[in-house]
Amino acid sequence: MGKTTRRAFLGGLGVAAGGTALYTTMRMMGDVPASEYKGPVKLDGNPNGAKVLVLGAGLAGMVAALELRSAGYEVEILEYREKAGGRCWTLRGGDTYTELGGAKQNVSFADGNYFNPGPWRIPYDHHGVIDYCQRLGVQLEPFIQKNFNAYLHTSQGFDGTPKRYREISADYRGQISELLAKAVNQGRLDDLVTADDRDILIESLRATGILNDELTYEMSMATSRYRGFGKLPGAGFEGAPDASEPIDLSPLLQSKIWARLAEPDMIDHQTPMFQPVGGMDMIAQALAREVGDLTRYNSKVLSLQQDEEQVTVTYEDTLTGEKASTTADWCVCTIPFSILGQIDHNLSSGLSQAIDGVWYRSSAKWGLEFNRRFWEEDEGIYGGISYTDLPIDLISYPSGDMFSKGPGVLLGGYVWRDDLAYEFTAMQPDERIKWALEYGSRIHPQYLEEYKSGVSVAWHKVPWVLGCFGIWRDKERDYANAVDIDNRVVCAGEHVSYLGAWMEGAVLSAVDAVSRLHDKVING
Domain range summary for the chain, segments of one domain joined by + = 33-81+297-358+473-523, 92-149+270-280+362-461, 165-255
* Cβ proximity of 122 and 134 under 8 Å: no
| Cα distances (Å, whole numbers) of residue 72 to 383, 462, 466, 487, 488 | 44, 35, 34, 21, 18
Compute and round to an integer the Cα radius of gyration of the chain. 26
Task: State phi, psi for 210 to the nearest 5 degrees.
Answer: 55, 55
The fold of 165-255 is de novo design (two linked rop proteins) (1.20.1440)
Supply the pLDDT for residue 34.
62
> 515: how many CB neighbours lie within 10 A of its CB?
13
Handedness of CA 212, 215, 219, 222 (dihedral sign): positive
For residue 305, what is the enclosing H or E element? strand 299-306
Q: How far apart are CA 384 and CA 397, in angstroms?
A: 6
User: Which parts of the chain register pLDDT below 70?
Assistant: 1-34
* Cβ proximity of 87 and 311 under 8 Å: no
DSSP 231: B
Supply the pLDDT for residue 490.
98
Q: How far apart are CA 415 and CA 190, in angstroms?
A: 45
For residue 227, what is the enclosing H or E element? helix 221-227
pLDDT 10s digits, 213-256: 999 999 999 999 999 999 999 999 999 999 999 999 999 999 99
Q: How far apart are CA 264 and CA 230, in angstroms?
A: 26
Q: How many CA atoms lie within 13 A of 509 on its CB side?
A: 33
Q: How far apart are CA 57 and CA 510, in angstroms?
A: 12
| Cα distances (Å, whole numbers) of residue 255 to 156, 258, 413, 486 | 5, 8, 21, 53
Q: Identify the CATH number of the domain defined by range 33-81+297-358+473-523.
A: 3.50.50.60
Supply the pLDDT for residue 28.
36
The order of strands in the sheet holding 273-276 is 122-123, 273-276, 140-143
Q: Identify the CATH number of the domain defined by range 92-149+270-280+362-461.
A: 3.90.660.10
